[in-house]
Chain A
Amino acid sequence: MSKPDTLAAQRRTAFNRRNFLRGLGACIALPAFESLTPWKLLAADAVTAGRLAITATGAPLRTAFVFFPNGAIQPNFWPDGAGTDFKFNATLQPLAETQAHVRVLGELDHLCANPGADGGGDHARGNAVFLTGVRPKKSATDIHAGISIDQLMAKKVGHLTRFASLELTCDDTRKSAACDSNYSCAYQYNLSWSSENTPVTAEFNPRLAFERLFGAGPVGQRALNNQRRQLAQQSVLDFVMDDAKRMEQRLGSQDRDKLDQYLTGVREIEARIQKSEQFGPAPDPAMDTPPGVPSSQTEYVQIMYDLMVLAFQTDSTRIATFCLAHDGDNRSFSHIGIPEGHHDISHHQNNPDRIAKVAQIDLWYAQQFARFLKKMQDTKDVDGSSLLHNSMILYGGGNSDGNRHTHTNLPLVLAGDGGGTLGPAAYVKYGSKPCTNLFLSMADRMGIQGIERFGDSTGRLQSV
């Protein structure tokens, strides 16, 4: 029951999702974006850029990472059977409709999320390690992790699109008090890291995510608004850049890190403005701008997924990361009849009633993911195949068994076909390999060369 009985809910706009989805439907029906994702340019890129983020047919190749919290009920998550002959169990059943494009990846680990000498804090680590594959420094204030795979990919292929990457989250509120076991909250809420001490903040507001991609205002005026906004940005960049450099000279070394973050941001705005000249105006989807954070959790998650579809469809970016909720998330699932907090009951202590409830939550998350895959499948790409075909989408979490906080045999699904570079649908057990080996194999398929190691990787993953 999505009673907007909290102040947070109150500030969320009660909003007509139909308008938004109707708009999205219309936009999916349009092969119109062909004109906006210039085929020839892409083909040329493929040659000059060493086939970076390009499929064999010259279409864009996308990678997405989707994170769900608190592990999964293991027996329900893992399929029966093995190899290409497998059958989903209850949790992944919703993926059956797109099963031909789904690989379930067993026995991949994030050992850096294990306690080791650091003790408690498995949720903070589950989150921080998920895309970085390094052990985060245990500290409330001195944050230190590693670059995440999505950001590494973005650095390599980001120049091909208007946005190097897109980061989304459905965590719109933060708790006060210290985070998990006195890890800084930066670890627990950020999946993406552009460097070891700079988390990449994700956008929680669907309206702002949409406006950033396509411009503010109603249909037809967005390109102009975008142009105005960029002109305004442009006019202040010289001044603020200069101010930052002067301030940097006055400050100490730790402070210089902060100014570096500022200068990086300035350079990204400059790059965006240059790209606007290079790519022309951003596409203007024929749909209403989503007004804000919906009061219903289901709508919230679905709209974020829809934005990912839209971003990929319009080739606004080729890299997206979506945090459904941070690890340790304790929101209530009253809307599916489970009032308890997710984290609370994920420590089910083998109580069958609690296990059943957590499994229902796992299933709900899988249903939303399945809906997203279906949309990706139903959306045609420039080369005539589906968006899903031309994508690699990793869906998973940083804990396997939420009850016991384990980080081996992580629940992972790799969907999409990587433009035909991924193997057939299968359930493969990799025999306790680092999850980062998978990241390297994905980076290979993105055409990124020269990465020998990532995080705790020990090599490439065979047979993905």
Chain B
Amino acid sequence: MLFAGLTCSAATAAELPGAADFHRDIQPILETYCYDCHGDGKSKADVAFDQFDSDQSLLQSRGLWWKALKNVRAGIMPPAKEAHPTLTEQERLASWIKKDVFNIDPENPDPGRVTVRRLNRVEYRNTIRDLMGVDYDTTSEFPPDDSGNGFDNIGDVLTLSPMLLEKYVNAAQAIVAQAVPTVPKVVVERAIAGASFHKSDPATNSDSASGPLSLSYYEAASASNTFQIEHPGKYQLVLNLTAAEKYVDNQFDYNKCRLVFTVDGREVFTNDYNREGNKLFHYEVDEQWPSGEHTMSLQIRPLTPGEDQVRSLAIRLNLVTLRGPFDEKYEVPPKNYARYFPKPVPLQAAARRAYAHEILGEFAFKAFRRPVDPEMLGRLTALAEKNYSQPDQTFEAGVAQAMVAVLASPGFLFREEGVEPAPKGGGNPLIDEYALASRLSYFLWSSMPDDELFQQAAAGTLRRNLQPEVSRMLADARSSALAQNFAGQWLETRDIATVPIDARAVLSREAAPPAASAPAVSPATNAPTPQTSVTLADAGTTATPAATPPAQAGAVGSVPGRGGRGFRRGFGRRGPRVDLDDALRKDMQSEVEMYFSHIVHDDRNVVELVDSDYTFLNERLAKHYALTNLNITGADLRLVTLPTNCPRGGVLTMGSVLAVTSNPTRTSPVKRGLFILDNILGTPSPPPPPNIPPLEDSESAFSNHPPVLREVLELHRSQPICASCHDRLDPPGLALENFNAMGMWRDKERGQTIEVGGQLATGEKFANVQELKHILANQHRTDFYRCLAEKLLTYAVGRNLENYDVESVDRIVERMQKQDGHFSALLMGVIESAPFQKRRASSGLADATPSESGPHHMAAN
């Protein structure tokens, strides 16, 4: 329907009002500002605005107009030094493109079509947590989800392979087995933590009463625990222990030990252990006890006094479970019983069936997040009944089996969405209230709706109470998912946990360059050669292995203290002075998540994401950032106001962002520049052309010193084919060069003072990163608003944005401008937008209309 005008081939110019508007309103603008390069016989980058075959083809060149709109709005075109259209002219161009090229009806914009979304592994895990009270480790059990547009919740891209379905079925089984009791009563169990055992040497006792107890293979030791028994009778002790080791590459540990377990002084169990690779062991000991006090004790006897002690071998007693007395009269309901079975199980068959029906109806409603088809509920009840009617099967086990079916079914794994009746005058229907509840909960919580949302949806009041419901949801702890999964993917900081960074190599670039006698180090953007490492390690030494055989290098890396003398010298056994270890990575991840959550919860202006005078720090991170005079102590991150003119503040200068945009051994100004274009300005650079010309011809330029990255990139930009994009990429990337690949401040690289000043392709000049942030936050504020709105809308609706979404995005941006950029303006703008609230009318025609625009994040030039 929307595209009817275009598909009518008999249309003539007279019948194409869009073309008439073009010739009257748009062509003069293009003639004035664009034809110097894109008209009058010129067609730079294969673009000419006066070479259309017909008016029809003019109006159908949507990709071209899309790029034109993006580039003009972002100030990329015309180029900085040329005259730019006035705001009125820009607005005229934009509204013509939206109305006549994209055929957008501003009163009823096309909401697009979200392909039914499979839960990704984060959503699955959270949904299971909220539905079942079980933490199922989807990160180990399920394959990573494919992503599109940078997000892993895009319906089209979330495919379901047979292997994954098999995993879902097995997971359903495992989760239900863990969560749902299958018997009404069980023997009493008491968990006694390893840590609550008292060691014979009191100095080594831990203060904690939870967690494991660790006893080394290498030293004789014992530990004991005393407990009370109320009722005499049969009991069982279940030992759960790990034969632990600390992994050391290529070195083994041949020690052995013997474990002896005694109860009330009586030896009840003994076993010998080699190095077992962190294997778990379970032992059961049956006992008959009178009431009163009893003592169990664990002894370790080393068996190999002469062996090298390499891998810190230890017996780790995780837990002793004390079960008993084994007597029906002392049995209790199992954990979580009332959660699934709130009433006693009836005896009579019809009553049992009714009870199963009731339990499963409630359960399937929550699991499917919408009302259940009565016939399917009947089938579920029948499935339960079939199971519990078998001999030796409990009612609970039968119901549990039906719950497995629910968790394995598409109703749980996919997010099916219903719609309200279509509006009378035509147009696109609203999604129904249950679909709205799920859209909200998966958007803000990455999880299922809670009871309150379900109740609102059932009463049909959710849409009416949108604002208070959203506020309530943001106040809930589950909303941290928005920082983790939206910000974490938008800013790529979820990767900080795994991004490979080699601290030694990174730090070596900040050392003085090799002595003058050093040969020309590779001129390209290379990583340090062994020479630089040695120099850093021990400046002035000339012990330089000319060519290190890889085997030796490997040995250096893996076995500190063996071989590789030339390398080891400086860092020695200590390793580099700073390392991007797990603790620091976690701090960095927390910094960005807490920062984003602060913007959300305090409803700050989102532009503070780019530029602010605060961040979140703990002692370790403050030290890493060299902010040691702020008196920040302890491990908890907190809001810290930064000193005047501090280069930190805003996401661009956070360790996480700086590290994930680096290579393992050095910074990457190109990746950082790209990051700013992609994620702050929303004007991605096109990918590099095929057949990039090599730089080696010009390498001799650096025969006298190892180049710093700025020099290499300058050389790069001297090639016209590279310059067209790298003029945009490099300056903002280089502005961050004072931060190394671990996010630490540095003044010099390879002995040269780092210069960070530059000019954006849109013309603004900056002397340092503070000025760059200021420019991005002010002159490019609208670009940033639009970029963030596009990202958040993509994440919220889980689909690629198409050209018809321009209208919805523009409205969100207008709202942000009017409401001073507050996060709530962005969030409510997204939530109240047509793509979030509605669903394209599912006429056959609309369904069959292919995506018209191609990728939304189309290269901007």
Contacts and interface: CB of A to CB of B under 8 A. Distances in A.
A8 B162 contact: no
Contact of A186 (B157, B162, B495, B687): B157
B410 interface: yes
Nearest to B161: A201
B63 to A, nearest CB: 12
A339 to B, nearest CB: 3
A141 B798 CA distance: 10
A184 B580 CA distance: 30
A240 interface: yes
A424 interface: no
A353 B579 CA distance: 25
Interface stretch (A11-19, A313-321, A427-435, A445-453): A11-19
B118 interface: yes
A405 B690 contact: yes
A139 B855 contact: yes
Contact of A6 (B146, B163, B275, B497): B497
Contacts of A252: 113, 842, 847
B379 A242 contact: yes
Interface string B818-851: 0000000000000000000000001000011001
Interface string B565-583: 0000000000000011110
Contact of A330 (B414, B557, B663, B687): B663
B161 A258 contact: no
B173 A229 contact: yes
A221 interface: no
Given A141-B148, A337-B548, A337-B553, A236 B157 contact: no
Given A120-B689, A175-B492, A246 B505 contact: no
Contact of A177 (B150, B405, B552): B150
A247 B375 CA distance: 13
A340 B586 contact: no
Contact of A5 (B141, B409, B581, B664): B581
Contact of A336 (B405, B550, B687): B550
B557 A244 contact: no
B154 A255 contact: no
B409 to A, nearest CB: 4
B143 A141 contact: no
Interface centre among B145, B156, B665, B847 (most CB of A within 10 A): B156
B504 interface: yes
B749 to A, nearest CB: 17
Interface in A236-267: 236, 239-240, 242-244, 246-247, 250-255, 258-259, 261-262, 264-266
A1 B694 contact: no
B113 A203 contact: no
A281 interface: no
Given A119-B689, A254-B156, A330-B664, A13 B278 contact: yes
A203 B167 CA distance: 11
Contacts of B694: 349-350, 403-404
A7 B851 CA distance: 40
A277 to B, nearest CB: 18
Contacts of B665: 339-341
Interface in A158-194: 167, 171-182, 184-186, 189-190, 194
B376 A336 contact: no
A4 interface: yes
Nearest to A404: B691
Contact of B383 (A232, A239, A404): A239
A330 B665 CA distance: 11
A23 B141 CA distance: 24
Interface stretch (A45-53, A76-84, A289-297, A374-382): A289-297
Nearest to B160: A261
B495 to A, nearest CB: 5
Contacts of B383: 235-236, 239
A122 interface: yes
B383 to A, nearest CB: 6
Size bracket of the A interface = 35 or more
Contacts of A167: 163
Interface in B794-834: 799-800
Interface stretch (A35-43, A65-73, A204-212, A383-391): A204-212
Contacts of B166: 212, 233, 265, 268-269, 272
Nearest to A260: B160
B290 interface: no
Contacts of A292: 140
A334 B156 CA distance: 37
A428 B368 CA distance: 58
A295 B143 contact: no
Nearest to B549: A337
A8 B800 contact: no
Given A247-B411, A334-B502, A141 B497 contact: no
A194 B678 CA distance: 33
Nearest to A403: B694
A335 interface: yes
A272 B162 CA distance: 11
B157 A194 contact: no
A426 interface: no
B495 A176 contact: yes
Size bracket of the B interface = 35 or more
A280 to B, nearest CB: 20
Contact of B118 (A6, A121, A258): A258
Contact of A236 (B276, B408, B855): B408
B277 interface: yes
B588 to A, nearest CB: 11
Interface stretch (B243-251, B608-616, B626-634): B243-251
Interface centre among A138, A140, A292 (most CB of B within 10 A): A140
Contact of A120 (B116, B150, B167, B686): B686
A140 B416 contact: no
Interface stretch (B33-41, B180-188, B519-527, B766-774): B519-527
A19 B146 contact: no
B465 interface: no
A240 B409 contact: yes
A199 interface: yes
A236 B404 contact: yes
A115 interface: yes
Interface in B362-380: 373, 376, 379-380
Interface centre among A15, A122, A330, A337 (most CB of B within 10 A): A337
B721 interface: no
A352 B277 CA distance: 41
Interface of B: 113, 115-116, 118, 139-141, 143-150, 152, 154-157, 159-167, 169-170, 172-173, 245-247, 249, 275-279, 373, 376, 379-380, 383, 387, 401-402, 404-405, 408-411, 413-414, 416, 488-489, 492-495, 497-500, 502, 504-505, 522-527, 529, 548, 550, 552-554, 556-558, 560, 579-582, 585-586, 660, 663-665, 668, 678, 684, 686-692, 694-696, 699, 799-800, 842, 847-848, 851, 854-855, 857
Going nearest first, the 9 A-B pairs with the smallest beta carbon separation are: A16-B277, A337-B553, A120-B687, A265-B165, A1-B557, A339-B502, A181-B687, A7-B497, A14-B247
Interface of A: 1-2, 4-8, 10-11, 13-19, 114-115, 119-122, 138-143, 167, 171-182, 184-186, 189-190, 194, 197-205, 208, 212, 229, 232-233, 235-236, 239-240, 242-244, 246-247, 250-255, 258-259, 261-262, 264-266, 268-269, 272, 291-292, 295-296, 330-332, 334-341, 344-345, 348-354, 360, 363, 403-405
Given A243-B376, A336-B550, 14 more contacts: A1-B556, A5-B579, A119-B689, A174-B152, A186-B146, A194-B162, A239-B402, A247-B410, A251-B416, A262-B413, A269-B165, A336-B554, A337-B554, A350-B696
8 contacts: A10-B582, A14-B277, A139-B854, A140-B157, A174-B152, A208-B167, A239-B383, A261-B159
